Amino acid sequence: MKIIDNIKEATVIQILSAMLGVLILLIGSIYSEVLPLLFPTIVQQLPKTLLLKLLTLAITLFVLSLALSLAVYLKLKRKLIPKFGVLWDRNKEAYCPACEIVLSEYNEQGDPPIYEFRCIKCNSYIRLMHLGKSISMTNAQQLLK
């Protein structure tokens, strides 16, 4: 189910990005056609103080939109926390510390038990370790905050 949730989240982000792109394209096309007609009249008829206030408002709105975009990006950015020799996301899924992809092959072997993942991309084995001892994935997930 977590894969489906990730796909849904990625799809929503892609759709919102596409809609924003189309909106910017539409505003740009309207702007390029209307500005040459209205700009000379506006500059001649309006007082300079009002034009200065409009410019200040436009700059303020631009800076606020940049700050909002940065805040949304930082909120949606995947945060991986290093712990027990691997990286963990907020859903307690393990990621490879080298290539940051989801680790899927989990093995429990031998006596004393060794718990490790195998990364498909870089073909390396990553052991789960806590205080110098091997720890199972369920115990590691329970210890995560």
* pLDDT value for 47: 87
* pLDDT value for 57: 93
* pLDDT value for 1: 52
Q: Hey, what are 13's tokens?
A: 């982000």
* pLDDT value for 88: 84
DSSP notation for 89-118: -TT--EE-TTT--B--EEEEETTTTEEEEE
* pLDDT value for 60: 94
DSSP notation for 7-27: HHHHHHHHHHHHHHHHHHHHH
Q: Hey, what are 125's tokens?
A: 């084995």
Q: Which residues contact 136 (CB under 8 A, 6 or more apart)?
A: 108, 113, 115, 128
Q: Hey, what are 65's tokens?
A: 């939109």
Q: Residue 63 — left, alpha, or beta (φ > 0 → left; ψ -120 to 50 → alpha)?
A: alpha
Domain boundaries, the chain: 1-45, 47-77, 81-143
Confidence (pTM): 0.48
Q: Hey, what are 36's tokens?
A: 């040459």
pLDDT one digit per residue (tens) for the chain, 145 residues: 577 878 888 898 899 999 999 999 999 888 888 888 888 887 788 888 888 898 899 999 999 999 999 888 887 777 888 888 888 887 888 888 888 788 878 878 877 888 888 888 888 888 888 888 888 878 888 887 7
* pLDDT value for 101: 83
Alpha helices in the chain (DSSP H): 2-45, 48-76, 137-143
Is the distance from CB of 11 to CB of 4 less than 8 angstroms? no
Is the distance from CB of 32 to CB of 26 less than 8 angstroms? no
